[in-house]
Amino acid sequence: MAEGTIKRLTDRGFGFIDVGSGKDLFFHSNSVEGTSFDELREGQKVSFTEGKGPKGPCAEHVSVA
């Protein structure tokens, strides 16, 4: 699994993970595992797998690292 840092969370149920390559990965609250989306915080380390969404690359199976 890859690791990154939560860069931004929205009140609409999605966020972005900084993976260190200059591009951020989108993730949806449905992709969060082991905790709730509401418990995530910006700057928190997470692990995830990279997948393909309807609008391009996205993070799946997001969990607190």
Count CB neighbours of 44 within 10 A.
15
* Residues 6 or more apart whose Cβ sits within 8 Å of residue 44: 5, 6, 64
The whole-number pLDDT of residue 61 equals 98
Task: Write the pLDDT tens digit of every residue in 13-31.
Answer: 999 999 998 889 999 999 9
Write down the pLDDT at residue 21: 84
Percent of the chain with pLDDT over 70: 100
Mean pLDDT of the chain: 96
Q: pLDDT at residue 57 above 90?
A: yes
Q: What is the pLDDT of residue 22?
A: 86
Domains defined along the chain, listed by start: 2-64 (2.40.50.140)
